[in-house]
């Protein structure tokens, strides 16, 4: 049955404070106007676009919290890849009617990452049908996509038309002043003191997006905790020197982007740590290194702290299974694939079973 975001995504229960940046005030206003039930009513469909890590999910979560705080609401919040997986499951088990009945009595649908179903025409058709029913009943729809829907190859014309029939707004990367505000906010949430010189250094680094800045602050706090020291300029400078952007090579470029998307340090991926939060991104990096470069398993293993051939093979097999069953991980992997062309040195590997995982999500 429809349920709010937190029931679908336990990892989202700890919500960050929401900061409306000047460059994104228009997007925030457009989304929050969906809560307006008065007359005249704004467009019932809003599509938010922007690169991975710019804050689309954060804005969607803020909308969900606001919707529930203003009164009772039947609201469904999920990723497009999750919708596709549930639709495929309903078709497979001949429960399409049950699926439709469970999803048509909605006040609002929040569906993130439309680009993730660009290779799922049946799921797109089902999503359009659900949107049409919801809108005919006076409901509202909030969508997000990494690029403007009309620029995403594989999205159906009907789905693109539904997006263009509403309001399309973009979230923009923060400028320097906004990056400073975000760094200060993240430090405050973690009860950490960032000296002004450290804030300036991080704001001027190659990390620009909110998710990236949050990752920097998190790793800086963790590093200071391990060392038993305060956060100062030398500590921050040392952290930046260790960051993925400084690592050369094609396998390293992939590992760097995986570290960025999964929010872990590159050294963690290359370590012998068996902590659950480290194993999955490490397997993702090995899997993508094999898929995108075709590098020998032994070469990939050497990069990851000298692991042997069979260990990398096993990691790739395990991760392929996870990729097909976990929409959140599949979405992160798509983020990595889409951003890697800018990293350089990567080519597509189209051998055998590794290509099938690209159909996920």
pLDDT tens digit sequence for 187-197 = 999 999 999 99
> What is the average per-residue pLDDT within 67-94?
86
More confident residue, 352 or 52: 52
Of 178, 160, 77, the C-alpha closest to 118 is: 160
Q: What is the pLDDT of residue 43?
A: 87
Name the percent of the chain lying above pLDDT 90. 38
Per-residue confidence at 235, pLDDT binned at 50, 70, 90? very high
Q: What is the pLDDT of residue 355?
A: 27
Q: What is the pLDDT of residue 10?
A: 33
> What is the average per-residue pLDDT within 182-210?
91
- Cα gap 353→346, rounded to integer Å: 19
More confident residue, 308 or 348: 308
> What is the average per-residue pLDDT within 294-313?
85
More confident residue, 345 or 35: 35
Q: What is the pLDDT of residue 253?
A: 86
Q: What is the pLDDT of residue 63?
A: 93
Of 74, 79, 38, the C-alpha closest to 56 is: 79
Show the tokens assigned to 22.
């000047």
Per-residue confidence at 222, pLDDT binned at 50, 70, 90? confident
Contact 250/346 with Cβ under 8 angstroms?
yes
73 pLDDT above the threshold of 70: yes
Q: What is the pLDDT of residue 30?
A: 94
> What is the average per-residue pLDDT within 221-227?
89
Q: What is the mean pLDDT of the chain?
A: 82
122 pLDDT above the threshold of 50: yes
Burial of 253 (0-12, 13-18, 19+ CB in 10 A): buried
84 pLDDT above the threshold of 80: yes
353 pLDDT above the threshold of 70: no
For residue 310, CA distances in Å to 279, 302, 307 come to 16, 12, 8
Q: Tell me, which fold does domain 249-359 have in CATH?
A: Chromosomal Replication Initiator Protein Dnaa; Chain: A; (1.10.1750)
Q: Per-domain residue ranges for the chain?
A: 5-170, 176-242, 249-359
Which DSSP state fits 5?
Answer: H
Per-residue confidence at 8, pLDDT binned at 50, 70, 90? very low
Q: Hey, what CATH class is 176-242 in? A: mainly alpha
Q: What is the pLDDT of residue 231?
A: 94
Of 82, 75, 65, the C-alpha closest to 16 is: 65
Q: What is the pLDDT of residue 37?
A: 64
In degrees, rounded to 5, the angle at the alpha carbon of residue 182 between the alpha carbons of residues 198 and 34 is 175
Radius of gyration of the chain (CA): 21
Q: Highest mean pLDDT range out of 90-104, 170-184, 262-276? A: 170-184
Percent of the chain as helix, strand, coil, to the nearest 5: 60, 5, 30
263 pLDDT above the threshold of 90: no
Number of H helices, E strands in the chain: 17, 5
Q: What is the pLDDT of residue 121?
A: 93
> What is the average per-residue pLDDT within 7-22?
56
247 pLDDT above the threshold of 90: no
Show the tokens assigned to 284.
């993702």
> What is the average per-residue pLDDT within 331-340?
81
Count of beta carbons in the 10 Å neighbourhood of residue 298: 11
CATH code linked to domain 5-170? 3.40.50.300
User: pTM (2 decimals)?
Assistant: 0.69
Q: What is the pLDDT of residue 17?
A: 62
Task: For CA atoms 347, 113, 356, 150, give the dihedral sign.
Answer: negative
- Cα gap 319→150, rounded to integer Å: 32
28 pLDDT above the threshold of 70: yes
- What's the length of the chain? 361
């Amino acid at each position: 049955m429809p349920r709010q975001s937190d029931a679908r995504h336990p990892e989202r229960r700890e919500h960050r404070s929401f900061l409306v940046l000047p460059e994104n005030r228009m997007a925030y206003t457009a989304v929050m106007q969906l809560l307006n039930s008065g007359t005249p009513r704004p467009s019932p469909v809003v599509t938010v676009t922007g690169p991975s890590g710019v804050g689309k999910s954060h804005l969607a979560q803020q909308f969900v919290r606001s919707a529930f705080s203003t009164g009772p609401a039947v609201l469904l919040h999920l990723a497009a890849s999750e919708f596709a997986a549930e639709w495929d499951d309903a078709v497979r088990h001949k429960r399409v009617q049950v699926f439709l009945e469970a999803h048509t009595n909605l006040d609002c649908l929040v569906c993130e990452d439309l680009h993730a179903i660009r290779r799922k025409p049946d799921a797109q058709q089902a999503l359009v049908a659900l949107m049409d029913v919801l809108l005919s009943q006076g409901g509202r729809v909030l969508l997000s996509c990494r690029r403007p829907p009309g620029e995403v190859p594989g999205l159906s014309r009907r789905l693109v038309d539904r997006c263009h029939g509403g309001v399309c707004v973009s979230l923009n990367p923060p400028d320097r002043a906004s990056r400073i505000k975000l760094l200060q906010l993240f430090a405050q949430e973690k009860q950490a003191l960032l000296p002004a010189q450290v804030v300036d250094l991080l704001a001027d680094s190659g990390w620009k997006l909110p998710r990236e800045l949050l990752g920097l602050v998190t790793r800086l706090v963790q590093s200071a905790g391990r060392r038993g020291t305060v956060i100062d300029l030398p500590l921050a400078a040392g952290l930046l020197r260790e960051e993925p952007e400084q690592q050369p090579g094609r396998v390293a470029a992939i590992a760097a982007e995986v570290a960025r998307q999964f929010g872990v340090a590159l050294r963690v991926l290359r370590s012998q740590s068996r902590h659950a939060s480290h194993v999955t991104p490490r397997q993702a990096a090995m899997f993508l290194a094999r898929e995108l470069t075709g590098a020998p398993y032994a070469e990939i293993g050497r990069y990851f702290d000298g692991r042997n051939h069979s260990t990398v093979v096993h990691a790739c097999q395990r991760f392929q299974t996870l990729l097909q069953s976990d929409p959140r991980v599949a979405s992160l992997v798509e983020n990595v694939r889409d951003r890697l062309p800018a990293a350089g040195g990567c080519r597509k590997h189209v051998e055998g079973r590794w290509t099938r995982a690209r159909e996920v999500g």
